[in-house]
Amino acid sequence: MASNEAPGAQFMAKRQKYRDGKPIFREGEASTCAYVIKEGEVELTKVGPKGLMRLAVLKTGELFGEMGLLDDSPRSASARAMGQVTLEIISREEFLTMVREDPKQAVAVMEKLVTRLRKADEMLVGKKNVSKATQPVQPALLKPQGQAVATPQPHTLPQQPRPAAPPQKPGFFSRLMGRNGPAAENATPLTVAVAELIGDEGGVQGKIIMGAFEGQEGVTVKAIKKPLKPEETGTDGITGQLAALAAKGRKMLAGTRGDILIWGALTEDKRAIRLRFLSALEDDDDRPGAFGTATALDLPLGFEGDLAGLLHAVTLAATVPRTERLVQHIRTHLPRLLDACKAVGRKPPLDLDKNGQGTMMLCFANAAAAAGWTTGNLDWFSEAQTAYQAAIRTLARSSSRYDGAVAHKQLGVVLQILGEKKQDDGLLNDAAKAFEEAQTVLTREDFPIAWANLQNRRGLLAYKMDMRDSTSTENAQLKQAITAFQGALTVYTMAETPLKWAETKHNLGQALQILGGQKRSPDLLNKAIEAGRDALEVRTRERFPLPWAATMNSLGSALFLLAKFDEQAVEELVAAAEAFQGAIDVYITHGLTKTAKIAERNLEKVERMLEARQPDAKPLGKFNWDDEDDSGITL
C-alpha cells in the first residue's frame, strides 16, 4: 500500500492465525472479506494455461483479497500461509467505507490492484518465469457401496461445470465510487414498476399507486402502460398458470430494469383494488415472509396515508434484492415503514370484505417476518406471529382456503424460528401443527413445490425436536424426519430444483447419520454417506462454500461412525479427516471460529483413532491431544 497507515487500522477488525500451508481462500470461492498481513507471509497462486502459478508472495502490512469486494466477484486467485501467519480480517462493508471516505486509501488500492493485475497478465501470457506451487489435496470421499475407498493421494477431482455467466455488472472502479445499482443510470437502490390495472378506467388508481412511491427516499417508480393478464388458454394446473404469469410478468419488468412489478385489477364489486407483487429475481418460497405469485393485497379505492405506507412496506418485503445497496435499503426502511403502519396492518379498514381484511393482515405479517429475517430482530417475528394468527381467524370467515393455508405455512416458519431461538418446545409443537394444517390445502398434486418445502420444514422440525429430547429411545421423531425428507425428494430434482434438492439431501444425510450411529447400523450410515455425496454434486466449494462445509462436516461424521464399527477400517478414517479439514478451512476463512472449533474437535477424535490403528503413520494435522473422549462426533 502507498499509504503509511495500514488498511483497516481504523477498524476493530478480527484477527485469525494460520499455520504453514493452511489455505486462506481458494480461487472461485465467494469474496466475503479482505485481509491485512500482521505477521508472516502469504502466497498468491492462480491456475493458468501452464498449470498453477505463483503470482506473488505478500509480506507484513500488505492488503489482499480486496478485488472481489470491489466488484462482488469470486476470488480470482488462491491464498495460503507461508509459515505461521496472523491476518486481520476486514469485512466488505468496512472496506468499501474505508476506500470511499479516504481518497488516499482509494488511490493506493487502485495503484496496488493495477500493478498486481498487470503482473498477473504478464504471467498468464508467458512473459515472466513463474514457479509452480503444489495444488491442494482434495478430500478422498467414500465411493458407493461395494467399492473400496481410495487411499488419499495428491490429486484434483474433476472440475464441476461452471454456471452460466451472470449479466455483466459494473466494474470495480464504478463500484468503488458507489455506482453499483442494476442499471448505471439508476441512482436509487429500488425501482418499482407499476402495470396498468385491469378495470382501472383512466388509470386513476394506477396513478394513486405510483403516488405512494414518488418522492420516497431511494425509490424510482415507472409505469407500464399495459396490464399483466393470465392467459385465456394454455398451461394446465394452478402451478403451471402461476409460472406462466410469472414468466410473462418478468419479461415486462425487464423492459423497465425494475426490481419489482406491482400488478392486479379492480375487484368485481369495484370497491377495492387487488394488487400482487412479482420480484425480478425469483423468490424462495420457503423463506420467512415469502410472497408467492398469488399473494394479494386488497386496498380501498383512493387509498392514502397509512395504507400508502403499508403498500410501500409490502413492496419492500416482496422484493428479492440483487445488490448490496438494495439489501441495506430494505434493512433500513422496512422496519421504519412497518412501525408507521402497524395500526392499519393489525386492524384493516372495515370497508374491505373479510377476504380483503384477511389478506391485508397476511401481507402485513409477511412484511413483519421479512423485517425479522432481514434485521435479525426477534420482535418482528413475534409481531408476524400475532398478525398471522389474526389473518387465519379472519380468513376462516372468508372463501379463500388458499390464503388461509399460506398463512398457516408462514406462521409455522415463524414459530419454528422463534421456538429454536427461545428453545421453546411449545412453539415448536405449534409450528408442526401449523405445517400440518397448511398441507390440507397445499397438496402435492396442486402445489408440489410448496408441499415439498413443507415436507422439508417438517423434517427439520422433527429432527431438531429429536435432538432436544434426551429421553427418547424409540427415535420416532428422527424416523418422521427421514420420511419427510424422502417425501420432499419425490418432488425436488437435481435438474429442476438443484439447491433445494441438495439441501434436502444434506438434511436426509444428517438424520440418517444420527439414526445410524444410534442403531449401530452400517447400512444407514452408508445411506447417509450416499446422501451427503449426492448433495456435494451441487454444493461445490467454489459456488457454495458454507453449505459445502456443512455437508463435509456431516459426511465426516458418518465416515467416522462407519469406521468406529469396523476395527480394520482405515480409509474411512482418512476420508473423514480430510472432510473435517476441508470444513475447518472454509469456516476459518469465513470467520466462523466457533463452528471451526467444533469441527477441529471432531478431527482430533478421528486422528486419535487413526493413530491407534496406524501408529507409524504421519499425523494429518497439528492438535493438542488432551481430550480422551472418542465417544462420538459433535454436529
pLDDT tens track for 293-313: 889 999 999 999 999 999 999
Place of cell 465416515: 559
Read off the pLDDT of residues 605-622 as tens digits, 9 standing for 90 and up. Answer: 998 888 888 766 554 443
Task: Determine the pLDDT at residue 182.
Answer: 40
Nearest 5 degrees, angle CA 573-CA 579-CA 581?
105
Mean pLDDT computed over 445-449: 90
Read off the pLDDT of residues 38-85 as tens digits, 9 standing for 90 and up. Answer: 999 999 888 765 566 788 889 998 989 888 887 777 888 889 999 899
Give CA–CA dist 199/169, Å, rounded.
39
Q: What is the DSSP string of 201-258?
A: GGGHHHHHHHHTTTT-TTEEEEEESS-----SSS--SHHHHHHHHHHHHHHHHHTTT-
Read off the pLDDT of residues 86-139 as tens digits, 9 standing for 90 and up. Answer: 999 888 878 887 777 776 667 677 767 666 665 655 555 554 443 333 333 333
Name the most confidently modeled range: 85-89, 399-403, 481-485. Answer: 481-485
Q: What is the DSSP string of 270-337?
A: SSEEEEEEEESSPP-TTSTT---TT-EEEEETT--THHHHHHHHHHHHH----SHHHHHHHHHHHHHH
- Band (pLDDT 50/70/90 cuts) for residue 536 is very high
Domains and CATH numbers, the chain: 14-124 (2.60.120.10), 189-399 (no CATH)
Task: Determine the pLDDT at residue 221.
Answer: 95
Task: Determine the pLDDT at residue 539.
Answer: 94
Sign of CA dihedral 460, 465, 471, 473: negative
- Band (pLDDT 50/70/90 cuts) for residue 591 is confident
- Band (pLDDT 50/70/90 cuts) for residue 167 is very low
Least confident interval from 389-398, 500-509, 563-572: 563-572
Q: Are strands 219-224 and 190-195 parallel, antiparallel or unpaired?
A: parallel
Read off the pLDDT of residues 248-302 as tens digits, 9 standing for 90 and up. Answer: 999 999 889 899 999 999 998 899 999 999 999 988 888 999 998 889 999 999 9
Q: What is the pTM of this model?
A: 0.67
Task: Look at 477 and 145; give whichever has higher pLDDT.
Answer: 477
Burial class (CB in 10 A: 0-12, 13-18, 19+), 233: exposed
- Band (pLDDT 50/70/90 cuts) for residue 148 is very low
On whether the CB atoms of residues 402 and 361 are closer than 8 A, the answer is no
For residue 329, the Cα-to-chain-centroid distance in whole angstroms is 19
Give CA–CA dist 151/574, Å, rounded.
8
Helix (H, G, I), strand (E, B) or coil at 196: coil
pLDDT of residue 15 exceeding 70, the answer is yes
- Which secondary-structure segment (H or E) carries 607? helix 593-613
Task: Determine the pLDDT at residue 470.
Answer: 63
Mean pLDDT computed over 550-571: 91
Kindly provide the b/e burial profile for residues 426-459, where b requires at least 16 CB atoms within 10 angstroms of the residue's own CB.
ebbebbbebbebbbebbebeebbbbbbbbbbbbb
- Band (pLDDT 50/70/90 cuts) for residue 7 is very low
Read off the pLDDT of residues 191-242 as tens digits, 9 standing for 90 and up. Answer: 999 999 999 989 999 999 999 998 898 999 999 999 998 776 555 667 778 8
Average confidence score pLDDT of the chain: 82
Task: Determine the pLDDT at residue 152.
Answer: 30
Task: Determine the pLDDT at residue 468.
Answer: 80
